[in-house]
């Protein structure tokens, strides 16, 4: 195939998620926007845009990417906009969502002719990690006081709530949406659209899609609002692998295999959240710890069982290497950046991007 390492995006697996997203749109009326902070590999936007309604962003550059590469709506959000970027953000978006009332007031004139919204923090979330919890103590992510929010209603037409994080439990989603209704319902009924953010794993196996659709539709009809979802991981889960090659093996109390990749450089979330990589069919008798090639001592993908002892030249496929992974890749240690390949719906595989020394040099000065 191609020289490793490379990310392989399989459109047929991507399509399985997209079809569920389209089902939710049809049966609930909710629109879905791709969260570019999770996945921004625009080589597959041609397929994704057929099943999704647009993109949502976290920065000026993501806004521009969504506007230029993905058809449909472009929602702009940022924790804080800078003076020198606000005009370009407005020019490249259909809706602009402010994180605070201070920012809304500060850029009132520049955004006056754009559909505007405000992020609201309900102070509850499903996150199990404090680093990722938008409702953590002293969170900077959104306004939380209903009385203060009410003072800004004449400038906005919608809210964005984002308090689901890797939430695959429908009952938990329902519980938190009920809390939002109880606390902010009197404000929501004055809006025309509501984004419920991302982190809802409704494309997962066994998720009660019909109950989910019914709940979304009830919320929409009760308050008279257009509902938006912002799937990131849910849109691309299980669609992408990181293909690597074993470079060396050794025994140091455990059998180790060093591959031509690195979690710090190519799957950073594994390091941040202290998680192992994922592989299937790992039920053999030969257990190996898969290690990255960087100098970081903790550059470890995890331990897995193989049918045969690993040796230099063997190929390994790391699963779920799309979400919050390709967008975070970096040049630590100067380790070769993985190429990007796409497996088309007809089964053909296309190498769409390679990175080389010039990219490494150009990343700094």
Over residues 59-77, mean pLDDT: 97
DSSP 82-129: -TTTHHHHHHT-SEEEESSHHHHHHTHHHHTTSEEEEEE--S----S-
State the sign of the Cα–Cα–Cα–Cα dihedral 274, 280, 283, 286: negative
Contact yes or no for 46/279 (Cβ under 8 A): no
DSSP 273-319: TT---B-SS--SSEEEEEE-SSS-TT-EEEEEEESS---TT-EEEEB
Over residues 32-60, mean pLDDT: 98
* Residue 162: predicted pLDDT: 95
Strand, coil or helix: 31: strand
- Angstrom distance (rounded) from CA 267 to CA 269: 6
User: C-alpha distances in angstroms, 227 versus 53, 72, 191, 196, 344?
Assistant: 12, 15, 11, 7, 32
Which tens digits make up the pLDDT trace of 268-310?
999 999 999 999 877 899 999 999 999 999 999 999 999 999 9
Contact yes or no for 74/66 (Cβ under 8 A): yes
The angle formed by the CA atoms of residues 238, 243 and 244, to the nearest 5 degrees, is: 140
Return all residues near 14 (Cβ < 8 A) that are at least 6 apart.
44, 47, 48, 235, 236, 239
Work out the mean pLDDT of the chain and round it to a whole number. Answer: 97
Over residues 141-156, mean pLDDT: 98
Strand, coil or helix: 205: coil
pLDDT category at 340 given cuts 50, 70, 90 is very high
Task: Using the predicted structure, report yes or no on whether residue 230 has a pLDDT greater than 80.
Answer: yes
Tokens matching residue 17: 């998620």
User: C-alpha distances in angstroms, 167 versus 73, 139, 197?
Assistant: 25, 20, 12
Please state, as a whole number, how many other Cβ atoms lie within 10 Å of the Cβ of residue 161.
21
Q: Residue 331 half-sphere exposure, CB side, CA atoms within 13 Å? A: 11
* Residue 282: predicted pLDDT: 79
Strand, coil or helix: 58: coil
Share of the chain above pLDDT 70, in %: 100
- Angstrom distance (rounded) from CA 13 to CA 180: 34
Share of the chain above pLDDT 90, in %: 98
Over residues 55-81, mean pLDDT: 98
Over residues 86-95, mean pLDDT: 98
Which tens digits make up the pLDDT trace of 121-132?
999 999 989 999
Place of tokens 């020198």: 84
Percentages of the chain per state (helix, strand, coil), in multiples of 5:
35, 25, 40
pLDDT category at 187 given cuts 50, 70, 90 is very high
Task: Using the predicted structure, report yes or no on whether residue 7 has a pLDDT greater than 80.
Answer: yes
């Amino acid at each position: 195939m191609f020289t490793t390492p490379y990310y392989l995006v399989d459109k047929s697996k991507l399509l399985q998620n997209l079809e569920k997203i389209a089902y939710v749109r049809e049966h609930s009326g909710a629109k879905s926007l791709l969260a570019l902070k999770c996945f921004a590999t625009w080589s597959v936007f041609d397929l994704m845009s057929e099943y999704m309604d647009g993109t949502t962003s976290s920065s000026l550059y993501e806004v521009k990417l969504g506007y230029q590469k993905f058809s449909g709506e472009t929602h702009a959000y940022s924790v804080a906009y800078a003076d020198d970027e606000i005009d370009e953000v407005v020019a490249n978006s259909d809706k602009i969502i402010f994180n605070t009332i201070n920012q809304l007031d500060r850029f009132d004139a520049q955004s006056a002719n754009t559909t505007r919204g405000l992020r609201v923090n309900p102070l509850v979330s499903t996150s199990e990690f404090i680093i990722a919890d938008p409702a953590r103590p002293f969170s900077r992510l959104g306004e939380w006081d209903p009385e203060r929010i009410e003072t800004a209603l004449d400038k906005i037409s919608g809210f964005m709530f984002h308090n689901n994080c890797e939430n695959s439990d429908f009952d938990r989603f329902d519980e938190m949406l009920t809390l939002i209704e109880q606390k902010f319902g009197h404000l929501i009924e004055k809006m025309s659209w509501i984004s419920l953010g991302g982190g809802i794993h409704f494309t997962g196996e066994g998720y009660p899609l019909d109950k989910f659709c019914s709940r979304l539709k009830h919320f929409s009809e009760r308050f008279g609002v257009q509902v938006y979802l912002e799937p990131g991981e849910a849109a691309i889960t299980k669609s992408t692998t990181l293909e690597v090659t074993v470079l060396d093996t050794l025994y140091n109390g455990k059998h180790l295999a060093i591959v031509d990749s690195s979690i710090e450089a190519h799957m950073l979330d594994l390091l941040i959240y202290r998680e192992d990589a994922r592989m299937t069919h790992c039920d053999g008798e030969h257990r190996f710890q898969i290690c990255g090639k960087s100098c970081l001592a903790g550059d470890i993908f995890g331990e897995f069982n193989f049918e045969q002892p690993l040796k230099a030249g063997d190929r390994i496929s790391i699963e779920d290497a799309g979400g919050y992974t390709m967008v975070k890749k970096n040049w630590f240690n100067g380790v070769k950046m993985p190429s990007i390949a796409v497996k088309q719906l007809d089964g053909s595989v296309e190498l769409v991007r390679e990175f080389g020394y010039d990219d490494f040099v150009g990343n700094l000065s």
